[in-house]
Amino acid sequence: MKTLDQIADALQGYDPQALPAHTVNAFLAQLVPPPSRSEALPLMHALGRVLAQDVVSPIDVPAHDNSAMDGFAFAGSALTGPQPLVLRSVGTALAGSAFAGEVGDGQCVKIMTGAVMPKGLDTVVPQELVQTMGDQISLAAGVVRAGDNRRARGEDLQAGSIALAAGAVLSPAALGLLASLGLPTVQVFRRLRVAYFSTGDEILSLGDTPRTGAVFDSNRYTVCAMLQRMGIECIDLGVVRDDPAALEAAFRSAAAQADAIITSGGVSVGEADHTKAMMRQLAQSDTPGEGGVVFWRIAMRPGRPMAVGRIGQVPLFGLPGNPVAVMVTFLAFVRPALWRMMGANAQDAAIDPPLLKARSSQAIRKKEGRTEYQRAIVSTDAGGQLWVQTTGDQGSGVLSSMVRANGLLVLHHDQGTVEPGDTVDVMLFAGVM
């Protein structure tokens, strides 16, 4: 396991006081440990889990040549000239039972979708494209070609091939694929357990009596909900006041029972330094050589202050206190890191959600040298073009704007002011949180 100093030394231009967003993800990719334990789960309980080993197909899919539609099966070699083809139907092939008869020259079989192709037949003409005359059918020249409308044995998967690679996040389609192979269980990495607590004397838990200068804790609910959306167990440790003994107890409790720790508040310049001091103390003393903590000023908006490190071997993410900054830093940095801890492939959309191209419907002022994640509403015009506009006030405490938004407008580090009609990147919330 690399130390924090070793990770930092390997990153070109690393500066904890002016850290580009892309460098944060590069650092965290090396900070978090890979998954170590797996378990076998029934398919019905495996949605959203990460595959722990390659799944090798035990069978050909489909297992037999079969019909792709309702129609008439015949030998494609009969399609020899420009004249209509006349064939006599000698029976019916149903899905789930093979046709037992013989099919000779000039003959065909009525066939249902999914039915096994009778021996010697390789082509299906849809029933609506033929004329029937008693037990005979006639199809015009050029209606079909030899081999049309037949699903070949193993054309989806061949026995012995990799059906799903380790690291895949199991979607409904993936579970259906596994079921089509006859596999009742699947080996997945163990569910992560992440401990969370908010810090600060000004933070109220729900049910507390309001007081001047204090605010109700929203971060616990947004962070734990985002963790749950990822299939992670959130260990809610509540609100911890700015007191060294209370903070030490919370950090030690979190490290003892969780795979990772997330906190909010107490990492900004000028704040009461009990949280930062306790992070340093515990990270550097529990497991010398493995622990450690660094405090960053990230070139981003909203957000900027963030602490990362390890208490022993447990990764620690100290997020800022403002509600929107917490959500954005989680989405941009913590979420990808946790997916890596769960074993997801680096190329999976869970780690790196695709950015879509949209046109800005407004001018947006932007300074080069920082990445901005602006709350936005993405829509489609009558011609199918994506357009994006901000939700207005981008203050990091305006949580209602995250409710109105359906995505983030991502303005990159070297990007400047945006003019109306300019193409920009957007990250849609759908499938992300």
Reported as a single tens digit per residue, the pLDDT across 83-99 is 999 999 999 999 998 89
| pLDDT beyond 70 at 286 | no
Which strand (E) or helix (H) includes residue 111?
Answer: strand 107-111
d(CA 420, CA 433): 28
Q: Check: CB of residue 85 under 8 Å from CB of residue 141.
A: yes
What pLDDT is attached to residue 275? 84
What pLDDT is attached to residue 98? 86
Structure tokens at 23: 């460098």
88 or 283, which is more confident? 88
Section 126-135 average pLDDT: 95
What pLDDT is attached to residue 270? 59
d(CA 326, CA 112): 56
Tens digits of residue pLDDT in 137-148 = 999 999 999 999
Residues of the chain above pLDDT 70, percent: 97
The whole-model pTM stands at 0.89
Helices and strands, counts by H and E, the chain: 9, 26
Tens digits of residue pLDDT in 359-403 = 999 999 999 999 999 999 999 999 999 999 999 988 888 899 999
What pLDDT is attached to residue 290? 65
What pLDDT is attached to residue 234? 97
Assign domain 4-37+190-341 to its CATH architecture: 3-Layer(aba) Sandwich (3.40)
d(CA 195, CA 258): 6
Helices (H), 258-380: 274-285, 323-329, 335-341
Instruction: For residue 204, give the 3-state DSSP assignment.
Output: strand
Long-range contacts of 271-275 (CB under 8 A, 24+ apart): 272/242, 274/242, 274/243, 274/244, 274/247, 275/199, 275/242, 275/247, 275/318
What pLDDT is attached to residue 288? 58
Quickly state the pLDDT bin for 171 (edges 50, 70, 90). Answer: very high
Of 323, 198, 312, which is closest to residue 264 (Cα–Cα)? 198
| pLDDT beyond 80 at 287 | no
The CA-atom distances, in angstroms, between 393 and each of 304, 397, 405 are 18, 10, 12
What pLDDT is attached to residue 273? 66
Domain parsing of the chain, residue ranges: 4-37+190-341, 40-59+155-189, 66-151, 356-428
d(CA 104, CA 102): 6
Is 3.90.105.10 the CATH number for 40-59+155-189? yes
Of 408, 410, 412, 411, which is closest to residue 428 (Cα–Cα)? 408
Quickly state the pLDDT bin for 285 (edges 50, 70, 90). Answer: low
What pLDDT is attached to residue 420? 97
Quickly state the pLDDT bin for 266 (edges 50, 70, 90). Answer: confident
Q: Check: CB of residue 433 under 8 Å from CB of residue 331.
A: yes
d(CA 35, CA 191): 10
Cα-only R_g, the chain: 30
Residue 297 CA neighbour count, 13 Å, CB half: 7
Buried b vs exposed e over 157-191: b needs ≥16 C-beta within 10 Å? beeeeebbebbbbbeeebbebbebbeeeebbbbbb
The CA-atom distances, in angstroms, between 215 and each of 91, 212, 244, 250 are 77, 9, 21, 21
356-428: CATH topology is Beta-clip (2.40.340)
Tens digits of residue pLDDT in 218-263 = 999 999 999 999 999 999 999 999 889 999 999 999 999 999 999 9
d(CA 203, CA 325): 16
Is 3.40.50.300 the CATH number for 66-151? no
d(CA 265, CA 198): 7
Tens digits of residue pLDDT in 339-356 = 999 999 877 777 788 899
